[in-house]
Amino acid sequence: MKQFENLTKKERYFLITFLVGFLIKYNYLVVRIFNVPSITGVILRNLVLVIFSGYLFLPVVKLKKGRISLILLLTVSSLFFLANLWYNRYFGNYLSFTDMTRSEGIGSIKVLFRHIINLWDLAFILDLLFLGFLLSSDKKKEEVKAATLFSKRKEGLRTVIVIVILLLSSQVLITNSLLENESPMELYQRSSAGFVNVYGVLPLYVYEAYDAISFENSYATELETPEFLLEDELDDEALIEEVENIVVIQVESLDEKLINYKHNGREVTPFLNQLKEESLYAENFYTKHVNGSFDADFSFLTSFYPTNSNFVFKANDMTEFDSLARVFKEKDYQTLAFHGNDKTFFNRHQAYPELGFDEFYSREDFSSDDKVMELEEEFYLGINDYDFFKQSLDYLEEADSPFFAYMITVTSHTPFNFYPPDQKIDEYSDIENQLVHDFFQSISFVDKSLEMFFDQLEERGLKEDTLVVIYSDHDAAVDNPEYSSNINFEVDRNIKKPEHIPLLINHPELEAGSIEKKGTITDLAPTLLDLIGVSEKPEGFIGTSLLSEKEAPVLFLHELPQVFYQDHLFVKQFNQFEQVGHLKNKSNEDVRLPQAKKDEALQIINYVRQKMMSTQRLE
């Protein structure tokens, strides 16, 4: 305390601001973003940080160069914090080493400033501004040499080191005992939140980097599928007798809430609303959005779960997974994939052939000279949806029948401002929030593009006996008073809420109606096979047909895996499941996850993670 009293008033303010600013961001990171399970561990680590930092930095703040160094240190840690904050806001997870090294980035700086950053984030740099003010207003000359200051600290250094070591060791032992006394490797493999709780944030990234660099595929390549998954059978009764072609369309950022949604009396998706009345529609359908849009591709085509911090098309050998494209190929369908972006985007050019596609049409296969819709600027994610569908029709006409066509749209990707100016809807002009305004405009343009596509299918003789499926890769993640993508869930923790998306299945023979069973994109491939009368799904498909009466918990394998069961949301912490939320108006229901369902969920989680590890590409 004597050393603290010897500081000037400005030096005290400087040190206090530095420590408070650092600790606020550190604790927000570990509690809100990493969701650490033990607050005891957080408190003990805070004591270590305060004692160690306070002792170490007391002489530093006496020197102007030292204060500059502290500002630089806090700036770096603040940037790291903000990167995690913004990543968590969009994806619901922390920004891992894998995310930093394998991700394709956000694509446009507009996405960051229009969709992810908000005004309140400025609060997290106020400490830096105040430190900068204190530094710039400091006219005091340095009268003390650094060597002199630090030499006075040697006497108590040994005592402080002993105290810090004791506190840190106690924190590690106590926290780890609360978390089942696992080794660092076991803890790392089971729970990043637990690892951070015991050992800290920096050791986690060091461990992740080491794991990525030194990876050797030592896991068994032959895994046993859990028995209860193998018992899941299709009913062998086709709801559609005549299916010539199959077209599946994955629409970018389409909220389920938009179906039948109106603004100023104008329907945002008039064509999809009409198509819904003629289709089989899933009322409770959710996406798999853990790392990016490619999670939806993978989940649909393999009926498997994507896992956090795993960029499957880059990291995993797709030949090791059962694939819907291969199933149809074995049934003599020509298999075609369409995406308006570059073929190398998230390694689709390698993954799609491995999954069994005969052809993959990407940006280079679409003409820029024959555009029907002109944009004010080139879209960084590829050709606009209207021209994408228009030109794809030519490829479909040339294809051998029967064919399975998988199409991915891009126009309604955030920041939602890539739609033709002459296609603007006047009824949306009063929307004050620019992001919401552009979102409605872009979705309306996509809806018009889909309507043209359906009209052209019929005009070109491709509509009859064609099964068309439309769903979304994820919701739009818009959260604004004028419009919010997902307001159905109430949660008491900062976690990624399940994303509600539409699913329409249309065929002339298929009776219109609704599917009330809850499911995800993982369940879509078994549902399609069930519709056309396939008796057995591939062994590697772990999804369940939405047409089945069997009610199964819905899993989302984020960093903290989630189970959605009977309208309530549970989060897995180690081998325990904690209820953290529910659908609105369901809070009074006493819902518990049965032990049998917990056991099944744990088996699936462990099986999926082992499968992901055993199928990694060896570079």
110 contact partners, CB below 8 Å, separation of at least 6: 415, 417
257 contact partners, CB below 8 Å, separation of at least 6: 475, 485, 486, 487, 500
Phi, psi of 401 (to 5 degrees): -100, 140
Q: What is 517-562 written as a DSSP string?
A: S-EEGGGHHHHHHHHTT-S---TT-----TTSS----EEE-SSS-E
Looking at residue 148, its pLDDT comes to 52
Identify the segments of the chain with pLDDT beneath 70. 1-5, 104-115, 138-160, 215-222, 236, 373-380, 588, 619
Contact 537, 323 (CB under 8 A): no
Distance, C-alpha 337 to centroid of its chain: 23
* Tens-digit pLDDT profile for residues 18-48: 999 999 999 999 999 998 888 888 888 888 8
Quick one: how many helices (H) and strands (E) in the chain? 22, 19
CA dihedral 7→9→13→16, nearest 10 degrees, is 40
Q: What is 490-523 written as a DSSP string?
A: EESSS-PPPPB--EEEE-TTSPPEEE-S-EEGGG
CATH number assigned to the domain with residue range 228-542, chosen from the 4 options 3.40.50.280, 3.40.980.10, 3.40.720.10, 3.30.70.120: 3.40.720.10
Distance CA 526, CA 536 (A): 9
Q: What is the pTM of this model?
A: 0.89
119 contact partners, CB below 8 Å, separation of at least 6: none
* CB hemisphere CA count around 143 (13 angstroms): 3
Distance CA 390, CA 353 (A): 24
Structure tokens at 282: 């899933």
* Tens-digit pLDDT profile for residues 360-387: 999 999 887 777 766 655 666 778 899 9
Q: Structural domain boundaries of the chain?
A: 2-213, 228-542
Decide: residue 453, CB within 10 A, 0-12 exposed, 13-18 middle, 19+ buried: buried
Distance CA 257, CA 483 (A): 10
* CB hemisphere CA count around 399 (13 angstroms): 29
Q: Residue 423's CB: how many other CB atoms inside 10 A?
A: 16
Residue tagged 């446009």 (tokens): 108
Distance, C-alpha 167 to centroid of its chain: 36
Looking at residue 451, its pLDDT comes to 97
Distance CA 499, CA 459 (A): 35
Looking at residue 463, its pLDDT comes to 87
Distance CA 401, CA 395 (A): 12
Contact 591, 566 (CB under 8 A): yes
Phi, psi of 479 (to 5 degrees): -135, 95
Distance, C-alpha 191 to centroid of its chain: 17
Strands 513-515 and 280-282: parallel
Distance, C-alpha 456 to centroid of its chain: 34
